[in-house]
Amino acid sequence: MKKRLIKKINKQRIENILNKITNNNLNITNKIFGDGYFIFTFGYNTVCHFYLKQTPLWKYGIWLSKNGFQIFGEHEWLIDKFKPSRTYLSYNNDINGFIKEVKLISENPKLYFVDSLTDGDALVVYEKENWGDGEFSYKGYQVIREFNEETKLWDKFRIDETIAQEEFVNSKYDEFMKEKLQEGMNHEHDKLFAFKFFREL
């Protein structure tokens, strides 16, 4: 009885969050409830994964906690670990911030895909990041990273102000798609080779 009550309460908490999303003209699809992440259990119906019609191939999740929730998302092709600390979108108890960013993604999917792919370079022209102890790096679409022969690292930077955002986005997107296509061809080749090998056996 207690288990059923907890499941019902948690499911309703998530449904209340999802209702705020649908009230903002976003259409939820493929909603799945769960109890945790990987081998970790958080509690009955404390996790929900879903998709939105307006942002194809972007996967979203909600994790409940005692006092609130985390809502997050990532493009399926870029998912490493699907949890708030490893995704492009990640908000604590902020459904409005989440909705605002999802709408931006729906308006320009290629730009935000590349921004996630490049760890935030696509939306910034160039910007110095101070890491402390005299160490720093640059981020942004006009930043050129070069190999440093002295340190044997890619820690040399220069700014190329001739690079336009659209040029950067198209270049990174095309490069990714070529790699993905090659990966698919390699997979298909390996599959055919395996079938042939077993037939000959």
If one counts the domains in the chain, the total is 2
Co-location of 69 and 147 in the same domain: no
Looking at every residue in the chain, the average pLDDT score rounds to 89
Per-residue model confidence (pLDDT) at position 171 = 96
| Residues of the domain holding 59 | 2-107
Co-location of 99 and 125 in the same domain: no
DSSP string, 95-129: HHHHHHHHHHHHH-HHHHHHHHHTTS-TT-S-EEE
Contact 49, 73 (CB under 8 A): no
Domain boundary among 60, 80, 107: 107
Q: Is pLDDT above 80 for 190?
A: no
Per-residue model confidence (pLDDT) at position 197 = 46
Co-location of 31 and 81 in the same domain: yes
Co-location of 78 and 129 in the same domain: no
Assign 170 to helix, strand or coil. Answer: helix
Higher confidence at residue 112 or residue 194?
112
Q: Is pLDDT above 60 for 165?
A: yes
Residue range 123-161, pLDDT digits in tens: 999 998 887 777 788 899 999 999 999 888 888 899 999
For residue 51, list its beta bridge partners. Answer: 29, 59
CA angle 134–136–142, rounded 5-degree value:
150
68/20 Cα distance (integer angstroms): 15
151/54 Cα distance (integer angstroms): 45
Co-location of 100 and 39 in the same domain: yes
Contact 54, 26 (CB under 8 A): yes
Residue range 78-98, pLDDT digits in tens: 999 999 999 999 999 999 999
Neighbours of 89 (CB within 10 A): 19
Q: Is pLDDT above 60 for 198?
A: no
